[in-house]
Amino acid sequence: MPTLTITHDTFEAVALMHAETMGIPEVPLLVEPTPKGGIVGVDIAAVVRENAENILRALTANEGG
């Protein structure tokens, strides 16, 4: 099943370790900067626009398989 994991940069190493433990070390990650002061000030639409190609590639990589 196609998947994409979204994580903050401070958790990237843990996300990769968890993926390895679960037997899916090749899982694609979308790594975003950690919000400062716990306040999420990210424009989600901008994140999607900036990463659309990678997101589509990740979600269609195994299509038909």
Q: Give the position of tokens 């990463």.
A: 51
> What was the pLDDT predicted at 40?
66
Which helix (H) or strand (E) segment holds residue 58: the answer is helix 44-60
Q: Are the C-beta atoms of 1 and 64 separated by less than 8 Å?
A: no
pLDDT in tens, the chain (65 residues): 788 888 989 999 999 999 999 999 988 998 988 877 766 667 778 888 888 998 888 888 765 54
- For the chain, the domains span 5-60
Q: In 3D, which of 35, 15, 61, 56 has the Cα closest to residue 5?
A: 15
